[in-house]
């Protein structure tokens, strides 16, 4: 397996980890009878952290696509495009 393909799969793995982290954070901040978080603060937290996770996930997706394209390209073409 080539290094760019392995790095791309790593970037996809980071996206999954970010999604799991967001789900865990939502579970932690669910309002309940014994929790100290009301629905307003919970929703604000979900929106704030969700926006950050969305942007980080989008960046990792773009990098993963670039790395997968690099892994598919012939080695000679990669050497010609290098600065």
Q: What is the mean pLDDT of each run of 10 residues along the chain (83 residues)?
A: 90 96 93 87 94 96 94 68 59
Q: What is the pLDDT of residue 45?
A: 93
Measured at the CA of 50, the angle between CA 11 and CA 40, to 5 degrees, comes to 165
pTM: 0.77
């Amino acid at each position: 397996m080539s290094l760019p393909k392995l790095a791309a799969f790593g970037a996809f793995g980071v996206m999954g980890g970010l999604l799991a982290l967001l789900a865990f954070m939502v579970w932690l901040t669910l309002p309940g009878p014994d929790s100290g978080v009301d629905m307003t603060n919970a929703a604000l937290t979900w929106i704030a952290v969700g926006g950050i996770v969305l942007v980080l996930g989008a960046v990792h997706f773009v990098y993963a696509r670039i790395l997968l394209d690099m892994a598919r390209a012939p080695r000679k073409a990669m050497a010609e495009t290098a600065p």
